[in-house]
Homo-oligomer: A and B are copies of this chain.
């Protein structure tokens, strides 16, 4: 008897998490010889617990599936639900009864560290009850912090967005080039600095901005930072500095927490200021030059304008490879990316044990960070440059990007009201 498949998305979205969803659904629809219904869980495993799900096949018919490829956000909705560590918890038999009810044979979960933790627990519980359901993780995270994989889908597009936006900000900042200024750009990444490091790609020529780049991997010293800024002014009048939101003192204290030690907002609460805003105030106070800070915010993960064609292609391929892997009988694995040693960039896909991946964090190698912690070296550039290549033309309607919407039957171009 044919088994059904189910796919879900979990954690924060990326620009290509739906491309991975497309890959899973497209490949599964191609294997109707062995796979029956393809379900999408609404809001991940948390939604599935409430049997909140949809049939994915109709999306192929009405063109929505094609549109999903270039739609940001999580089409199926997401969750941040952590399964209990204790595999004897009542939630496990509850979930597996539902799997049985819907005749699930293949389970695909697209996400980062926490999502791989879900895949790990479900596959380990399956073993204890001799379930034959195949559990496969499909990687995604703009943070690029998963181990055992060269990189993760979502990072390439976020890196392309960060680099191109920083290049534009640097040009914008230079128009009053007869006056000194500092522009601080705060980039996502609490513990791993991959995305902030990508700002180095914005440099066009020797000495171009961003001149200074700080990652959470290296302890941040305020006095050294101020000295770096002063020194940079010898060559650049309009300085752009890129920082990770997670820069810290090396002892676990985030720079953004320094502000809340003192500041109190209008409502008497501790000020919750970003690291960028904190450093803006520091530079203003100590150096007295014109300074502003820019937080790139969620656009890093949801902008469709700077989709990397390479990233999109790999996101689709990893979803598709996940289905093939499950059909071979593999379980408890995440689809990892391996870079071959060829001179040309080339990626192969292979399953890796989720148990070795979940709850681990891959940071930027310290020898890729240069300039006494204020710059990024050639090794990172060689690593990251292939990941941002190629651009994707997102379909437009009425002058705006046209996206797929789960909650309304409204993907067809329609009058904006």
CB within 8 Å of B: which residues of A?
9, 12-13, 43, 46-47, 71-74, 77-80, 160, 163-165, 167-169, 171-178, 200-206, 258-259, 261-267, 269, 271, 273, 278, 281-282, 284-285, 294-295, 297-299, 301-306, 308, 378, 381, 385, 388-391, 396, 398-401, 403, 405, 407-408, 410, 414, 416-417
Contact = CB atoms under 8 A, between A and B. Distances in A.
Q: How many copies does the complex hold?
A: 2
A381 B43 CA distance: 34
Contact of A171 (B73, B261, B269): B73
A301 B47 CA distance: 40
A308 B408 CA distance: 28
A79 B172 contact: no
Contact of A164 (B47, B265, B282, B400): B400
Given A171-B73, A416-B381, A298 B303 contact: no
A172 B399 contact: no
Contacts of A389: 398-399
Given A206-B417, A299-B299, A308-B399, 11 more contacts: A13-B175, A72-B172, A160-B399, A168-B303, A201-B416, A205-B405, A205-B414, A262-B265, A266-B278, A269-B281, A390-B399
B299 A165 contact: yes
A317 to B, nearest CB: 19
A217 B399 CA distance: 26
Contacts of A308: 399
A147 to B, nearest CB: 25
A343 to B, nearest CB: 16
Contacts of A273: 265
Given A165-B303, A176-B79, A398 B416 contact: no
A298 B169 contact: yes
Contacts of A271: 263, 265, 271
B172 A298 contact: yes
Given A74-B175, A77-B178, A266 B295 contact: no
B80 A176 contact: yes
Contacts of A284: 267, 269
Nearest to A163: B400
B168 A299 contact: yes
A171 B403 contact: yes
Contact of A264 (B167, B263, B408): B263
A285 to B, nearest CB: 4
A414 B203 CA distance: 11
Nearest to A52: B178
A265 B259 contact: yes
Contact of A267 (B12, B163, B265, B282): B282
Given A400-B202, A414-B205, A302 B265 contact: no
A414 B206 CA distance: 11
A164 B88 CA distance: 47
Contact of A302 (B9, B171, B281, B405): B171
A175 B74 CA distance: 6
Contacts of A200: 416
B167 A401 contact: yes
Nearest to A401: B164
B410 A399 contact: no
Contacts of A258: 266
Contacts of A302: 168-169, 171-172
A388 B399 contact: yes
Contacts of A168: 72-73, 299, 302-304, 401
Contacts of A206: 417
